[in-house]
């Protein structure tokens, strides 16, 4: 069964919620005052992306687009901590760029890059699991030896991300449709791309490994044919131009049987520069294909003169007859050795960016007697409060006082009996 090639997909990922801490007191025979021994909840599982070398497509995400890591287990008696939730590892092929989908997508901006995964085994945590809530063993003091206070587990993180695959190859084969790219790839490597005599035979990029000698190999990519307007989305080029960004050297194949190979050369380079100015600067080897045909031999001298004016060396070959194909590969490898490695967007370590103060909050009047408080710290505290335990409720009230929420509510005009919403919780205001 053929695996469908997919190079872009959007998925939803969610880490595991932390396990709840426990309110419990030691009860044993002959131990009348055992004290608090409620255990801590376990940490929730992280969502981790890892590069798997054997993958070369994102097609597995066509069947499943929602991923959730296991939650941490709640704490137990006798100071037993809950089990940690296992990390959810999502495997992706080398060359996967991960973007976070935010409101910037709807405004036409560039979505933020979370990471660029290029090396086998490289890992990136996209959503961190929530920490486990503390049990009541942590809240005992000399003044409160019977604490009925514990924390719920920290809420999970969730994101919608876009995965974009940019194939990693040393050498890219470019040209107009039907120029002979697939044929050359099949001759130089063990790849078996579809080959036919009509445009756009190659509907997806193909990779192949070519041997230079017993100890040296290079990876070649057959990029679908580019036509005029490809950088604006015409034909198949727009979807696959990104794959050329990963290659260090380009073999530009001209169709010798085409109406004007020199015009094709100019048009392809224009499309590359329009899509990404750096593509037009990549080193190229220009080769005229189908030189075994008499019609091509007749136009060779004229083409050589045109390319000489541009100071471009024009090689010749016949991919079908395997004429000069080995020489072309050796020259491409030599040029590859002279070309510096690409500078990739690599984020092997978490990148911490300055954020707004999490203690800040906003109070909104949503109608008569209706108030809503939004803010990172206050919403997280509400989500981690055991509302069924009086001690936990009193602790939450202290947090509100510490953050200045109660004073701000009074200044805003809150009255006895009003409803105050924090996250998914609705509280009644009482003086």
CATH number 3.40.50.720 is the correct assignment for the domain at 1-165: no
Burial of 121 (0-12, 13-18, 19+ CB in 10 A): exposed
Taken as a whole, the chain contains a residue count of 431
Which 3 state secondary structure label does DSSP give 157?
coil
pLDDT of residue 189: 80
CA distance 168 to 396: 52
pLDDT of residue 204: 58
The H-assigned helical ranges of 137-227 are 181-188
3-state secondary structure labels for all residues of 161-180: EEEEECCCCCEEEECCCCCC
CA distance 330 to 287: 13
CA distance 252 to 394: 72
Residue 142's alpha-carbon distances to 35, 77, 146, 151, in angstroms, are 12, 21, 10, 20
Which 3 state secondary structure label does DSSP give 376?
helix
- Nearest-10 Cα torsion for 395, 39, 382, 18: 160
From the list 239, 199, 245, 198, the residue with the least C-alpha distance to 221 is 245
Q: Which residue has the tokens 């503390």?
A: 134
pLDDT in tens, the chain (431 residues): 343 455 788 999 999 999 999 988 888 777 777 789 999 999 999 999 999 887 777 878 878 889 999 999 999 998 899 999 999 999 998 888 898 887 654 545 567 888 888 888 999 999 999 999 999 998 888 888 888 889 999 999 999 999 988 767 788 888 887 788 888 888 888 655 444 444 444 445 677 778 888 778 787 877 765 544 444 444 444 455 666 777 888 899 998 888 888 988 888 888 777 777 777 788 899 999 999 999 999 989 999 999 998 888 999 999 888 899 999 999 999 998 888 766 554 444 444 444 556 778 888 888 888 989 998 888 888 888 888 888 888 888 888 888 888 889 888 888 888 899 998 888 888 87
Contact 66, 107 (CB under 8 A): no
| Domains 1-165 and 171-338 agree in fold | no
From the list 247, 177, 238, 245, the residue with the least C-alpha distance to 207 is 247
Q: What residues contact 186, with CB distance under 8 A and at least 6 apart?
A: 192, 193, 195, 208
pLDDT of residue 205: 65
From the list 430, 417, 391, 397, the residue with the least C-alpha distance to 38 is 391
Contact 265, 259 (CB under 8 A): no
Neighbours of 125 (CB within 10 A): 16
* φ, ψ for residue 379, nearest 5 deg: -70, -40
Residue 247's alpha-carbon distances to 194, 302, 332, in angstroms, are 22, 31, 12
CA distance 415 to 413: 6
Domain extents in the chain:
1-165, 171-338, 362-428
pLDDT of residue 272: 78
pLDDT of residue 238: 45
Which CATH architecture is the domain 362-428 placed in? 2-Layer Sandwich (3.30)
CA distance 195 to 91: 31
Contact 151, 163 (CB under 8 A): no
CATH number 3.40.50.300 is the correct assignment for the domain at 171-338: yes
CA distance 344 to 151: 43
Burial of 380 (0-12, 13-18, 19+ CB in 10 A): middle
């Amino acid at each position: 069964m053929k695996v469908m090639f997919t190079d872009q997909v959007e998925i939803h990922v969610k880490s595991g919620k932390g396990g709840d801490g426990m309110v419990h007191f030691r009860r044993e025979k002959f131990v009348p005052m055992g004290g608090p021994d409620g255990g801590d909840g376990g940490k929730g599982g992280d969502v981790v992306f890892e590069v798997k070398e054997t993958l070369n497509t994102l097609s597995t995400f066509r069947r499943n687009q929602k991923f959730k890591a296991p939650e941490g287990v709640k704490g137990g008696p006798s100071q037993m901590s809950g089990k940690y939730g296992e990390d959810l590892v999502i495997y992706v092929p080398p060359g996967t760029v991960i973007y976070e989908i935010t409101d910037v997508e709807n405004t036409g901006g560039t979505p933020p890059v979370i990471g660029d995964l290029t090396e086998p085994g490289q890992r990136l945590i996209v959503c961190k699991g929530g920490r486990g809530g503390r049990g009541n063993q942590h809240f005992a003091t000399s003044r409160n030896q019977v604490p009925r206070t514990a924390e719920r587990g920290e809420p999970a993180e969730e994101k919608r991300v876009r995965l974009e695959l940019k194939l990693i190859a040393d050498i890219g084969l470019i040209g107009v449709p039907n120029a002979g790219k697939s044929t050359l790839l099949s001759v130089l490597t063990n790849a078996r791309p579809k080959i036919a005599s009509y445009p756009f035979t190659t509907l997806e990029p193909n990779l192949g490994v070519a041997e230079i000698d017993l100890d040296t190999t290079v990876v070649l990519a057959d990029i679908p044919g580019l036509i005029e307007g490809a950088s604006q989305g015409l034909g198949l080029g727009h979807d696959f131009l990104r794959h050329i960004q990963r290659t260090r050297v380009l073999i530009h194949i001209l169709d010798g049987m085409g109406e004007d190979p020199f015009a094709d050369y100019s048009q392809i380079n224009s499309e590359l520069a329009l899509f990404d100015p750096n593509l037009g600067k990549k080193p190229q080897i220009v080769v005229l294909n189908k030189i075994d045909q008499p019609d091509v031999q007749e136009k060779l001298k004229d083409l050589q003169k045109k390319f000489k004016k541009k100071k471009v060396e024009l090689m010749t070959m016949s991919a079908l007859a395997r004429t000069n194909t080995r020489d072309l590969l050796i020259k491409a490898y030599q040029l590859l050795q002279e070309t510096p490695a690409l500078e990739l967007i690599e984020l092997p370590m978490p990148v911490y960016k300055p954020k707004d103060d999490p203690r800040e909050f906003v109070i909104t009047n949503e109608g008569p007697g209706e108030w809503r408080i939004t803010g990172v710290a206050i919403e997280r505290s509400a989500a981690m409060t055991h509302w069924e335990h009086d001690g936990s409720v009193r602790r939450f009230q202290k947090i509100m006082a510490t953050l200045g929420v109660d004073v701000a509510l009074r200044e805003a005009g809150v009255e006895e009996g009003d409803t105050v919403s924090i996250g998914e919780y609705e509280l009644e205001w009482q003086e």
